Structure formats: C-alpha cells, structure tokens
C-alpha cells in the first residue's frame, strides 16, 4: 500500500508556535531518570516551552545525560534520592511558586499522583482530577481530546461531570472555543441494561441545564458515529456533535 503524504495543516505545529512565542514556563520534572525522559525535557527546553527544574538523584541524572549526549545547560538541578522523594519535592516546588508546571519523568504515575493528592496538598481542588489525551489524528479535520483514559477506573456520574468539565476547559485553553463533546457508550441509544448509556444521557442533560458549561454535549454515542458523519447519517442521528466531536468521553 502506498499512502499519500499528509498535506493538511498540523494542529500541533500552530500550537507549538503559539507556546514558543511566550516565555518558557518553570517546570518541575519529577525523577527524569531514563534517557528518553531526559531527551523529552531537553526537546521541550530547546523549543522554549519550559525552563526545567530536574528533581531526582543528580548523580544518576548527570550520568544519563553524559551517556546520551544530552546538554543540561539551562536546567536547574534539585536533589531527591528516590522516585517518591522526587515526586514530593517537585510538588513542593509548584506549591511554593518556584515552578508553575509539573512534568512526569520516569516514575510510575501513581507515585506522582500520591504526592499531588496528598492530604493538605494545595494542588488538590474541589473537582475530580482527570487525564486528557490531546491528539492530532491523520484524516480527522480537527484536534481530538480523549478523556479519561489513565486515572479514573470506574467514575461515578458526578465524577464524570468533573471529567467532562476539565476536558472542556482544557479545550478552551487550546483555542477550541465551543468544543463538541461526545459521551461514548457501546451503543447510541439509552439502554437500562448498559449503565454508561444512562450516564451519557444524564451528562447531556446536564449540559442543557448548565451544570456543565462551555460546550455542546450529546450522548450516548458510539465511537463510530461520534467521529464519522457517514456513520451518524447511516444511523439517522441528528446531532450537532455526532460525526464532528472534539472531545470523546469514555465511560470507564
């Protein structure tokens, strides 16, 4: 098979240009103790996106940088003996205002989140913490956000409400003025035997009642009719979201 070159405008290119026009943000990088983690930090610093603060065992970090020929010039270094200590120290740097972003290095996600969500942490908010993938997908004419695919295992309806609102507000920051939110399930009709269809319908009504704001919501939608206008038309779905979603909200 021969694939034609992708000649469409790349969403991330424009986003990176906008970000690079701003001052680099002081960023606490928790435990960057593998060469690919250090390389990612170096690439982000070179693109003027971040001003890194590397938090971890400094002898290990320097040795990795030397072995991989990664230049640490411009990186601030902060000693922390192990992954848990590095996570706690990185969070403390953000809490103290020395950093404004927290970046995961090569530690496990649960180790980092344990520090973020520790009792008394100022990074905790009243809203549920959630994860969003931001993707630039070939042959899809808009950026696509997928949530939550990493943190919440079986969220309740009200936790899903937070997950949706978090994704909407991220979309606004990324320049998507009125994102279209597809609330996914296995099918696009309400079925009491499939609880995720009930949740999707309730979340869509929350959008109508302004319990969720800043976006157009519809659901339940199956994945195909959320991203394909042809699939939506085949099912007879009339919707401002179906076939043109910006945000996909998965049920679990």
Place of tokens 């034609």: 4
User: With 60 as the cut, is the pLDDT of residue 181 above it?
Assistant: yes
Q: What is the pLDDT of residue 74?
A: 87
User: What confidence tens digit (pLDDT) does each residue in 74-115 have?
Assistant: 899 999 999 999 999 999 999 999 999 999 999 999 999 999
Supply the DSSP string of 180-249, one letter for each residue.
Answer: EEEEE-SSSS--TTSHHHHHHHHHHHHHHTTSS-SSEEEEEE-HHHHH-HHHHHHTT---SSTT--SEEE
**Percentage of the chain lying above the pLDDT 90 cut:** 86
Q: What is the pLDDT of residue 13?
A: 86
Three-state secondary-structure class, residue 23: coil
Q: What is the pLDDT of residue 8?
A: 54
User: With 60 as the cut, is the pLDDT of residue 25 above it?
Assistant: yes
**Distance between CA atoms of 31 and 37, rounded to whole angstroms?**
9
Look over the chain and give the mean of its residue pLDDT values, rounded to a whole number.
Answer: 93
User: With 90 as the cut, is the pLDDT of residue 139 above it?
Assistant: no
User: What confidence tens digit (pLDDT) does each residue in 146-158 have?
Assistant: 999 999 999 999 9
Q: What is the pLDDT of residue 5?
A: 45
Q: What is the pLDDT of residue 29?
A: 98
Give me the half-sphere count of Cα atoms (radius 13 Å) on the Cβ side of residue 84.
2
Instruction: Report phi then psi at 104, rounded to 5.
Output: -80, 130
Q: What is the pLDDT of residue 11?
A: 79
More confident residue, 83 or 7: 83
Q: What is the pTM of this model?
A: 0.90
User: What confidence tens digit (pLDDT) does each residue in 201-244 have?
Assistant: 999 999 999 999 999 999 999 999 999 999 999 999 999 999 99
What is the DSSP secondary structure assignment for residue 124, as one 8-state letter? -
User: With 90 as the cut, is the pLDDT of residue 188 above it?
Assistant: yes
User: With 80 as the cut, is the pLDDT of residue 59 above it?
Assistant: yes
Rounded to an integer, the average pLDDT of 27-41 is 95
Q: Among 8-22, 25-39, 93-107, name the one with the lowest average pLDDT.
A: 8-22
Domains of the chain: 23-116 (3.40.50.10950), 132-249 (3.40.718.10)
């Amino acid at each position: 098979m021969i694939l034609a070159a992708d000649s469409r405008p790349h969403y991330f290119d424009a986003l990176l240009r906008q970000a690079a026009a701003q001052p680099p943000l002081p960023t606490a990088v928790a435990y960057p103790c593998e060469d690919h983690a250090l390389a990612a930090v170096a690439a982000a610093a070179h693109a003027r996106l971040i001003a890194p603060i590397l938090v971890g065992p400094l002898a290990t970090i320097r040795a990795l940088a030397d072995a991989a020929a990664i230049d640490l010039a411009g990186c601030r270094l902060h000693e922390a003996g192990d992954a848990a200590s590095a996570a706690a120290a990185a969070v403390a740097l953000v809490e103290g205002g020395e950093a404004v972003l927290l970046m995961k290095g090569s530690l496990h996600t649960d180790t980092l989140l344990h520090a973020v969500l520790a009792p008394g942490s100022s990074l905790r908010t009243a809203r549920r913490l959630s994860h969003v993938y931001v993707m630039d997908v070939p042959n899809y004419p808009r950026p696509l956000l997928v949530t939550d695919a990493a943190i919440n295992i079986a969220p309740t309806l009200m936790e899903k409400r937070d997950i949706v609102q978090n994704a909407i507000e991220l979309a606004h920051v990324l320049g998507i003025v009125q994102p279209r939110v597809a609330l996914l399930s296995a099918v696009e009709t309400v079925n009491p035997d499939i609880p995720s269809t009930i949740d999707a319908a309730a979340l869509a009504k929350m959008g109508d009642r302004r319990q969720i704001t800043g976006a157009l919501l519809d659901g339940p939608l199956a994945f195909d009719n959320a991203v394909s206008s042809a699939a939506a038309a085949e099912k007879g779905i009339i919707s401002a979201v179906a076939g043109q979603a910006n945000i996909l909200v998965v049920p679990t």
